[in-house]
Amino acid sequence: MAKTAMVTGASGGIGLEFAERLAKQGYQVTLVARGEAKLKEHVARLGAGHRFIAADLSVAADWKRVAEDVRASKYDLLVNNAGVGVYGAFADGPVEPTMAMMRLNMDSLVELSHAFLQVAKKGDALLNVASTLALLSFPGAATYCATKAFVTAFSEGLWFENKPRGIYVAALLPGVTKTNFHEAAGGGAENVPPEGITQTSAQVVDVAMGALESRSSPTVLTSFTNKAMVFFSTRMIPRKTMVNIMGGQSPVKPQAQLKA
């Protein structure tokens, strides 16, 4: 029988690349995202045996519906890729977009991971997409970094817990990737990350597929540049210095507050 996989956040970018790659490897893939029209197009292009679930994973009723499908379908692989970022000084503007991001990036991922691991068998794998920023700090995206730090630590713990079961769990930590993340998070053309540190979705998924094959590490950084940046920023300089450097690269600049 063909292996089965679910990929969330599969309407574009890294998620769609995962879905296409897995389909080529013979998996029957279930794509999950909000946009039903795009999902229909992708599934039709992938061919017979693939399906989709339209769901907003920042909404509890939707992620619980998807979790029920995970329990019932007993996938061989779950890729928790759905996520979003929000640029902006934390105290500016309403808090609800931040809370919605936390629900999507953490709450839904936890429930889907729980549903998967409850029915997983030896040989299955769970891949949670985090970010290189999980290991750093990026003022102007403070809560986003915190959500990805949670995903990373959570996945590392699950890796150890599930080793005796023969189930592989890992956090995938891409760096800057050519997707619509920057624009969707509120970034502009004037502060696009440098091309020299940017990967394509295909390059990220190449590394991820290799990790799923080797099953050797709970934490997967996707390029030598990312590894070098993390090593330098966390081992070679004080953390305060790292935060100041990262803050200087942020699209959100601090504003002096006038005291009455």
CATH of the domain at 114: 3.40.50.720
Residue 187 lies in a domain: no
Q: Which two tokens stand for residue 110?
A: 């936890």
Q: Which two tokens stand for residue 197?
A: 């540190």
Residues 6+ apart with CB under 8 A from 94: none
Which DSSP letter does residue 237 get? S
Residue 193 lies in a domain: no
Question: Do 176 and 225 contact (CB within 8 A), yes or no?
Answer: no
* pLDDT given at position 179: 55
Render pLDDT for 139-177 as a digit per residue (tens, 0 to 9): 899 999 999 999 999 999 999 999 999 999 999 999 887
Render pLDDT for 184-197 as a digit per residue (tens, 0 to 9): 544 455 555 555 56
Highest averaged pLDDT of the listed ranges 107-116, 194-203, 215-224, 232-241: 107-116
Residue 34: which of 62, 60, 13 has the closest Cα?
Answer: 62
Render pLDDT for 18-77 as a digit per residue (tens, 0 to 9): 999 999 999 999 999 999 999 999 999 999 999 999 999 999 999 999 999 999 999 999
Q: Rounded to an integer, what is the distance from CA 201 to the centroid of its chain?
A: 12
Residue 260 lies in a domain: no
Residue 90 lies in a domain: yes
* pLDDT given at position 182: 42
Q: How many domains are there within the chain?
A: 1
Residue 204 lies in a domain: yes
Element of type H or E holding 8? strand 4-8
- CA separation for the pair 220, 128 (Å, rounded): 10
Residues 6+ apart with CB under 8 A from 247: 138, 139, 140, 254
- CA separation for the pair 113, 151 (Å, rounded): 11
Paired with 78 in beta bridges are: 6, 126
Strand ranges inside 9-50, DSSP E: 28-33
* pLDDT given at position 260: 37
Question: Do 173 and 132 contact (CB within 8 A), yes or no?
Answer: yes
Residue 158 lies in a domain: yes
Domain assignment of residue 224, given as a range: 4-181+198-249
- CA separation for the pair 71, 78 (Å, rounded): 11
Residue 258 lies in a domain: no
Q: Rounded to an integer, what is the distance from CA 127 to the centroid of its chain?
A: 9
Residue 171 lies in a domain: yes
Render pLDDT for 60-89 as a digit per residue (tens, 0 to 9): 999 999 999 999 999 999 999 999 998 888
**Between 79 and 230, residue with greater pLDDT:** 79
Q: What does pTM read for this prediction?
A: 0.87
**Between 260 and 211, residue with greater pLDDT:** 211
Measured in degrees and rounded to the nearest 5, phi and psi for residue 154 equal -60, -45
Paired with 7 in beta bridges are: 31, 79
* pLDDT given at position 73: 98
